[in-house]
Amino acid sequence: MIDLKEFIRDVPDFPKKGIVFKDITPLLKNAAAFRRAAKEIADRYRGQKVDAVLGIEARGFIIGAAVAQKLGTGFLPVRKPGKLPYKTRSASYELEYGTDTLEIHEDAVAKGDRILIVDDLLATGGTMNACCGLVESLGGVIVGIAFLVELDFLKGREKLSGHEVVSLINYD
């Protein structure tokens, strides 16, 4: 049995001093670990109706697309502003300093579509909370929210109450 945590590399002071960046590239580089991670997430939702997997730029694309392939669904990208070419809807959210924005194509989610949202890492939960707002504003139903890594001590889960949150690798 693979211990996925062994494939997460701590990079201190990236992207700025005081942050310990959880680098998932060693996990992505290892075929067995990458496959295992996508399978573990997908297995939690087998037997449930999932219309599409949605991933958040950029690392959420990698994990999300792999999960979509396992579940046999399509993939929906949520991106940073100005990247999506068609009509978009956007949501802004607070960062430590300033705000950030996410965008989705207006026709990505139809009313009643059952969406599984995937990202690489849950920290404060601001990013995912904004993403949930986008999906729900289009009438989508959030089946679940899945992360490779959760920084439990930041309590981001509390911002996502009302949704089922799954994470494979935890830091208390």
Q: Report which of 70, 3, 72, 56 is spatially closest to residue 32, judged by C-alpha positions.
A: 3
Handedness of CA 87, 71, 46, 34 (dihedral sign): negative
Judged by CB under 6 A, does residue 125 bind ligand AMP? yes
Q: Binding segment for ligand AMP among 14-22, 32-40, 103-111, 134-142 (CB under 6 A)? A: 14-22
Confirm or reject binding of residue 103 to ligand AMP (CB under 6 A): no
Q: Does 167 bind ligand AMP (CB under 6 A)?
A: no
Least distance to ligand AMP, CB of residue 112, Å: 27
For ligand AMP, the closer of residues 78 and 108 by Cβ is 78
Which CB atom, from 101 or from 112, has the smaller least distance to ligand AMP?
101
Is 96 assigned a catalytic role?
A: yes
CA dihedral of 37, 43, 44, 50, whole degrees rounded to 10? 110
Coil/strand/helix, residue 27: helix
Q: Is 21 in the site for ligand AMP (CB under 6 A)?
A: yes
How far lies 147's CA from each of 26, 38, 87, 131, 150, in Å?
16, 10, 28, 13, 7
Stretch of residues binding ligand AMP (CB under 6 A), selected from 1-9, 29-37, 39-47, 122-130: 122-130
- 164 assigned to active site: no
Beta carbons within 8 Å of 156's beta carbon, 6+ residues apart = 122, 123, 124, 125, 126, 128, 150
* Contacts to ligand AMP by CB under 6 A: 19-22, 56, 59, 119-127, 156
Which residues are part of the catalytic machinery? Answer: 59, 96
